[in-house]
């Protein structure tokens, strides 16, 4: 089993009429996302949900880590929500977790 440490599993998901490659989150990354979700649920900032989407996508989508906040702002929120839900489900965190449930 030790030979599998650090192995990355990916899957392609539709996004805005194209595809993006998503890494399945590791245990450490899942814990980080859960921490972001807790902080978002306690936050009163107007952009806290957007920050959560941005954080999840930057962790999981190949090539998204270099996107600026301004570049993220150009994507439709519905497309980002759908992608985030796909990421969380792919990583074992399904059930609307991205919506703070």
Rounded to the nearest integer, the mean pLDDT of the chain is 89
pTM score:
0.83
Supply the pLDDT for residue 56. Answer: 94
- Burial per residue of 33-68, b for 16 or more beta-carbon CB atoms within 10 angstroms, e otherwise: beebbeebeeeeeeebbbbbbbbbbebbbeebeebe
Q: Model confidence over 45-101: pLDDT tens digits?
A: 878 888 999 999 999 999 999 999 999 999 999 999 999 999 999 998 875 444 443
Nearest to 55 by CA among 47, 14, 12: 47
Domain ranges of the chain: 23-99
Average pLDDT over residues 32-38: 90
């Amino acid at each position: 089993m030790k030979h599998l440490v650090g192995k990355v599993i990916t899957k392609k998901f539709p996004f805005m009429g194209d595809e993006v490659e998503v890494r399945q989150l590791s245990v450490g990354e899942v814990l980080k996302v859960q921490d972001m979700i807790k902080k978002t649920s306690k936050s009163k900032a107007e952009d806290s949900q957007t920050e959560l989407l941005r954080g999840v996508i930057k962790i999981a989508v190949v090539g998204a880590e270099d996107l600026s906040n301004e570049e993220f702002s150009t994507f439709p929120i519905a497309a980002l929500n759908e992608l985030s839900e796909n990421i969380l489900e792919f990583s074992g965190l399904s059930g609307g977790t991205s919506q703070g449930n």
